[in-house]
Amino acid sequence: MASGTSRDVLGSGFRVLGRAIREQPRIFAVAVTGSVLFGLMVIASAYVVGTVVGKVVVPAIARGSVAGGTLALAAAALFGISLLRVVGIFGRRLGAGYMQYRLQAAYRRRVTRRYLELPLAWHHRNATGTLLSNANSDVEAAWYPIAPLPFAVGTLVMLVGAVVSLFLTDWALALVGLAVFPALFALNVVYSRRMAPRQARAQRLRAEVSGIAHESFDGALVVKTMGREAQETDRFAARAGELRDALIAVGKLRGVFDPMLETLPSLGTLAVLVVGAVRLRQGAIDVTELVSVAFLFTVLAFPVRAIGWVLAELPRSVAGWDRVRRVLDATGEMPYGTRTLDPGTPTPATLAFHDVHFGYEPAEAHLPGTEVLGEVSFTVPAGRTVALVGPTGAGKSTIASLAVRLVDPRAGTVTVDGVDVRELTAASLASTVALVAQVPFVFDDTVRANISLDRPGIGDDEVWAALRLAEADGFVAALPDGLDTMVGERGTSLSGGQRQRLTLARALAGRPRLLVLDDATSAVDPRVEAAILAGLRAPAGRTSVDPEHRSPTPGHGGGGAPASILVVAYRRATIALADEVIYMEHGRVLARGTHTELLATVPGYADLVTAYEQAEQEREQQHTYDEVTPLTSGLEIEVDR
């Protein structure tokens, strides 16, 4: 089994190398040319050294005087050869480096682009850690053998050249070469085969060690508050110890094989001297030839190692490539359509679910996927606010994902203004609908960049207008650099409510015609939440409100286009603002109506709202919300303590 597998690995490895050469043929040609030049110059140098000894040194010893002309000629020849060797090394190194790093960069880009193209369903099945290592170490591993590849190809050419020149010199010496070179080659193959699993193990442990470190640091809060420092340190130490042992195993093998690889060419030189002495006495060769061949054996030893380096990296390369290819070939893409919704109309959009069924794909393909949503039908009429209420796990976030087409239904359709969202272009969908997700995500960038996301037409005025609507203008104005303040990785320098309001402002800045809020203001003070929602509601949706309140308040500046709103909510005050409430349990819509109607007719709904309210009161007593005064930022709270 082992030999079959390693032959497979060799075959796949050569295919990966072939792909690399096809992608960068010109650079590869430059590198190989440099390498071949180097190899030929190595052979040439051996013959020049032989000539110097045979034609200059030996006669000089015999005569007691040096032939100046010949010596100068030999020196010039050696200098010329060295120069060409330098050029060869330069070409090979430069070419190999270019090729390796270009391929790495190209495939990193391809993998990350693919990540963004692949639908959320695919991401649900793949851990973030794996995605990171695919884009980083797997891409690197796939192209590792590229670095020594030109050297190895040049060495093969050099070995052929060496054998040919040996035969031209003397058949007996050629036989020595034919015995030593293949032995050297075989030793390299055995070495790399033994080395491959040890290297692979070390590589895997490296990833695990950094994974544990990453998790411990990421979960620093839990680790500290739960007093898990000792256990985490132990967990890390255990894996670090394994890595140490794996690397020592690599070193031990190196310790055994390196001397052998050094010794074999020396034995070859010895054999050449023995055989050569006999042939010299027989008059078959002269001193020049003997010295040349002996020298050739000593200078060939090092380049032959390059072949071993390529072979040693192949298994790792194949493993890395397989993982990269799995991403590049991943299916389940969600193709976009070609239709657009007239972007010129700033009117609210209508969202409708028609008998939608949905289930998350199981982690393993053979397992049956359970249905998470069934027979879901409802409409958010243009300009209206619809609240989605239901216990945890009911499927509210799933509905939000379907509404903005992060996932597609198994059956049924989701339409915006009567058009199936699957028929819309990506740009049209993105400009029409916006989701503020349950878990806010903030980029490690400035407040401005987080809100505008470099979208055209979103200048500072639009950013401030969006911040006002999200009730976030106060705290942003109080930040040390205002819009230019860096908010840190994942917004760590912000409070939970501030983060939520930034992501809300980001959605609003694009002036979506349909806004989907998935528990988007849960960490915000209830009164602020009600104010935000009241500010967002389109004038068309406020027909029941008296005209005095209908005009946009100066604080909101009228910055938002009127939008239809689907809001996942649990606070009574928030729900009460909605035109209609959809109550769901276990992926089914159980009841629809106004808040008052549902309270009166649906016992489960009344229970849930009451339970939420009690939890809310307890929370409020503990003051876990943001400061209501907009001038207080999370940063200041930190400093004041």
Ligand X SMILES: Nc1ncnc2c1ncn2[C@@H]1O[C@H](COP(=O)(O)OP(=O)(O)OP(=O)(O)O)[C@@H](O)[C@H]1O
- Contact positions with ligand X (CB under 6 A) in 431-470: 438
Residue from 173, 205, 307, 372 touching ligand X (CB under 6 A): that is: 372
The piece of 276-284, 323-331, 389-397, 601-609 that touches ligand X (CB under 6 A) is 389-397
The piece of 35-43, 178-186, 242-250, 433-441 that touches Mg ion (CB under 5 A) is 433-441
Residue from 276, 395, 474, 491 touching ligand X (CB under 6 A): that is: 395
288 contributes a contact to Mg ion by CB under 5 A: no
Residue from 265, 390, 474, 512 touching ligand X (CB under 6 A): that is: 390
Binding letters toward ligand X, positions 199-238, x by CB under 6 A:
----------------------------------------
Residue from 92, 384, 396, 537 touching ligand X (CB under 6 A): that is: 396
Q: How far is the CB of 447 from ligand X (least distance, A)?
A: 27
The distance of Cα 50 from the centroid of its chain, to the nearest Å, equals 55
Buried b (16+ CB within 10 A) or exposed e, 220-238: eeebeeeeeeeebeeeeee
Please give the residue whose beta carbon sits closest to Mg ion in the complex. 397
397 contributes a contact to ligand X by CB under 6 A: yes
526-536 helix and 496-509 helix, angle to the nearest 10 degrees: 0
Q: Which is nearer to ligand X, 395 or 562 (CB)?
A: 395
Q: How far is the CB of 42 from ligand X (least distance, A)?
A: 59
Look at residue 507 and give the partner it binds from Mg ion, ligand X, none, a contact being a CB closer than 5 to 8 Å depending on partner kind: none
The piece of 183-191, 295-303, 356-364, 438-446 that touches Mg ion (CB under 5 A) is 438-446
Pairing of strands 385-389, 564-568: parallel
397 contributes a contact to Mg ion by CB under 5 A: yes
Q: How far is the CB of 631 from ligand X (least distance, A)?
A: 32
Q: How far is the CB of 402 from ligand X (least distance, A)?
A: 10
Number of H helices, E strands in the chain: 24, 10
Q: Which residues have CB under 8 Å from 476's CB, separation 6+? A: 447, 467, 482, 483, 485
Query: Bridge-partner residues for 583, per DSSP?
Result: 389, 591
Q: How far is the CB of 394 from ligand X (least distance, A)?
A: 4
Residue from 6, 155, 188, 398 touching ligand X (CB under 6 A): that is: 398
Angle ∠(300,301,303) on CA atoms, nearest 5: 70
Q: Which is nearer to Mg ion, 96 or 520 (CB)?
A: 520
394 contributes a contact to ligand X by CB under 6 A: yes
Look at residue 629 and give the partner it binds from ligand X, Mg ion, none, a contact being a CB closer than 5 to 8 Å depending on partner kind: none
Choose among 97, 106, 9: nearest CA to 324: 106
Binding letters toward ligand X, positions 87-126, x by CB under 6 A:
-------------------------------------x--
**Tokens 């000593």 identify what position?**
298
Buried b (16+ CB within 10 A) or exposed e, 556-578: bbebbbbbbbbbbbbbeebbbbb
Q: Which residues have CB under 8 Å from 376's CB, separation 6+? A: 353, 355, 356, 357, 358, 395, 399, 412, 584, 587, 588, 589
Q: Which is nearer to ligand X, 392 or 617 (CB)?
A: 392
**How many whole angstroms separate alpha carbon 200 and alpha carbon 308?**
16
Report residue 364 as tokens.
């393993």
Look at residue 398 and give the partner it binds from Mg ion, ligand X, none, a contact being a CB closer than 5 to 8 Å depending on partner kind: ligand X
Q: Which is nearer to ligand X, 403 or 472 (CB)?
A: 403
Q: Which is nearer to ligand X, 397 or 485 (CB)?
A: 397
Category of 5 on φ-ψ map: left (φ > 0), alpha (ψ -120 to 50) or beta: alpha
Choose among 193, 212, 204: nearest CA to 246: 204
Angle ∠(585,591,597) on CA atoms, nearest 5: 130
Q: Which is nearer to Mg ion, 397 or 521 (CB)?
A: 397
Q: How far is residue 629 from each of residues 96, 465, 571, measured CA to CA in Å?
A: 61, 19, 21
Q: Which is nearer to ligand X, 47 or 358 (CB)?
A: 358
Q: Which is nearer to Mg ion, 307 or 516 (CB)?
A: 516
Q: How far is the CB of 399 from ligand X (least distance, A)?
A: 7
Q: How far is residue 6 from each of residues 122, 465, 489, 560, measured CA to CA in Å?
A: 32, 63, 44, 63
# residues contacting Mg ion (CB under 5 A): 3
392 contributes a contact to ligand X by CB under 6 A: yes
Look at residue 394 and give the partner it binds from Mg ion, ligand X, none, a contact being a CB closer than 5 to 8 Å depending on partner kind: ligand X
List, edge to edge, every strand of the sheet that includes 351-358. 373-380, 351-358, 411-416, 419-420
Report phi then psi at 593, rounded to 5.
160, -170
The piece of 93-101, 387-395, 496-504, 525-533 that touches ligand X (CB under 6 A) is 387-395
Choose among 265, 263, 258, 144: nearest CA to 191: 258
The piece of 103-111, 260-268, 385-393, 610-618 that touches ligand X (CB under 6 A) is 385-393
Residues of the shown chain interacting with Mg ion in the complex, contacts defined by CB under 5 A: 396-397, 438
Site residues (vs ligand X, CB under 6 A): 124, 360, 372, 390, 392-398, 438
